[in-house]
Structure 1
């Protein structure tokens, strides 16, 4: 049976989120109906809502959901009604990268998650007054009281951990953590620099604090965020508004430069600073996404010292391995994610957007 639910709909690029009754299709063979408990708000949602990406609007966004499974399609085996789940990105499960444990680089990733707005077979998951809406966002479209989610978007989690406290794991947190754990993989005594102390950057700081890196440097222009970074495990901070970032990194690393850099800001000027600040054989992970088609100029001879620049999607995570581990770290107090979260009733989604855009809240989480 189709399900009627309340959703936050973006009518057109640049329009606000407006609450509207929509109809969810009945679960397909590999889909589940999830009652949402909480969902994080991410810059990717705002980018699509602004019209910057070619997602079909009107549509329903949201891709950091957490909730309780209510019903499952006939072929679903990973979850059952009553299970607590964190919702993350979807993937085909059968291409070369999916089979190799890298579903964030699925051959169908872009249409299935970011710009398609429909299932792989072209059918719609959400409609209003008989007209299809853009949906299936990251396989979930969780800005709604109920979501029709792909089985591969669902990760069963410990029911003793409040879902509001772990909703952001599905995108922003696993992205920052994965940049450090899956790409940089710091060795004993190494240095990690995080450019930008937003939700992704602070997640990278927390992840770096759980590695053998002995120098963890957070860079931002906002003093409160730098102070928080210190509390979350940064050994040093650099105020990019007043300091020469390259000189500061050189000084804090004894002239060696950084072994690893995580660039979260999406600014090509900051990206260039990060590459220039790398040590020989150092690696910079590109996480922040500027508008499509953006290019950056680099000093080619500077790269010949073995520097590596690696692009990253969603932490290069295998979600069913990574997310339960992160939930355990949250539960044990070793990943203090609550320090980033500010909660808002779902009906106040536009206030959450304003607070996030103004920098008042690092990671807004909408509650149902």
Structure 2
């Protein structure tokens, strides 16, 4: 790995930045003092999101090209919401408590905490926040990175409203897709996994997909109808963020049924032809996005419950997310890690930055 030294002051906390499209940087800062009910967490590992986070790294995110108005909840003309340089996104973190405030009673030094705090070497949090996110001592700390990406996958499965015995087609078998495959199967589905990469389809088979389809070979929708007795998938989940995959998910879905769109689509919808199966088969497209939940369940479910449910399933061994980690890279080699995800995505699944060096 082509490691680069952290600039500015040595031996201080640091975080990753995106200096320009395709260029990773680092910046240091003075340690944040602790309040009486706060804890300091030294980051152990931080996962890179190969979807949403890469849109920031590559400069394709709409936040870098449009202005997001949070009051109207609209992208509008004006100065873009994000500009370079900016902190790297980072939302898959786990770390160890190394210092506690004078009034802290709910956590102690040495405990491992999972959560979201960007790609930074340390994080200061309230003891209440940390106490809700203690990783069980018998769980590999690397698995702590999966709370949010796992919650995204679980949210898609909840939005899918799967019933026992239904066929669920999952389009995209990257990290979140392989999570959806496991969670949908756990929810009673017969999973049909779709991807263009043979290695990812092999992972899907090993993790419980009943059927796998290579999207580069033949008519996917026809194959899914063959598997389902001509009906089509009871529900399809698109989690690759590719417009043609969304179109194929629509084609593959049964009449009067639904597609869950969970991928972060970029730009205009090239390859999406809504005058065809979407229109004639009355297919509903439902957006699944982590900022909210199914409106029929949000009186019982919230973001915290999503996170805690995923981490509970990991701790109980009911899902195998550890198998999704393909590379562990020193944090100072982040440029190489991002470059690998951009240039050779077929070689990797979950890439993890190690902050312990």
Q: TM-score, normalised by structure 2?
A: 0.76
Cα distance in structure 2, aligned partners of 1:70 and 1:32: 8
Residue 25 of structure 1 deviates from its aligned partner by 4.6
Matched residues in 2 for 1:78 and 1:256: separation? 53
Q: Could you tell me which residue of structure 2 aligns to residue 353 of structure 1?
A: 338
Q: CA deviation at 1:346?
A: 1.5
User: Would the aligned equivalents of 2:260 and 2:286 in 1 still touch at CA under 8 Å?
Assistant: yes
Q: Which residue does the alignment assign to 1:233?
A: 208
The CA distance in 1 between the partners of 2:240 and 2:55, in whole Å, is 14
* Partner residue in 1 for 2:229: 254
Answering whether residue 43 of structure 2 is matched by residue 36 of structure 1, we say yes
* CA deviation profile, 1:297-322 (whole Å, cap 9, x unmatched): 41377447553211111384734323
Give the Å deviation of 1:65. 0.8
Using the TM superposition, give the Cα deviation of residue 56 of structure 1 relative to its aligned residue in structure 2, in angstroms: 3.5
SS of the equivalent of 1:208 reads helix
Q: Give the Å deviation of 1:170.
A: 1.8
Unaligned runs of 5+ in 2: 1-10, 65-81, 294-300
Counterpart-to-counterpart distance in 1, 2:221 and 2:105: 51
| Shift of residue 211, structure 1, vs aligned partner | 1.6
2:318 maps to which of 330, 334, 348: 334
Match of 1:63 among 70, 78, 91: 91
Report the CA distance shift for 1:4/1:259 in structure 2 as closer, same or farther (over 3 A): same
Q: Deviations over 1:226-251 (max 9, x none)?
A: 11100101000111111211111111
1:253 and 1:76 mapped to 2: Cα distance?
A: 56
Q: Mark the CA change 1:149 to 1:262 in structure 2 (over 3 Å): closer, same or farther.
A: farther
Q: Which runs of 5+ in 1 are unaligned?
A: 89-139
Distance 1:63 1:72, change over 3 A: farther
Q: Tell me how large the CA RMSD over aligned residues is.
A: 3.1
Match of 1:269 among 244, 256, 259: 244
Number of the residue aligned with 1:21: 28
Distance 2:199 2:310 in 1: 25
8 Å Cα contact 1:158-1:324 kept in structure 2: no
Q: 2:219 aligns with which of 239, 244, 249?
A: 244
Alignment map for 1:101-250 (pairs within 5 Å): 140-141=117-118, 143-148=119-124, 155-171=133-149, 173-180=150-157, 182-213=158-189, 215-250=190-225
Deviation at residue 12 of structure 1 after TM alignment: 2.1
Residue 324 of structure 1 aligns to a residue whose secondary structure is: helix
Scaled by the length of structure 1, what TM-score is found? 0.74
Q: CA deviation at 1:264?
A: 1.4
Would you say how many aligned residue pairs link Structure 1 and Structure 2?
310
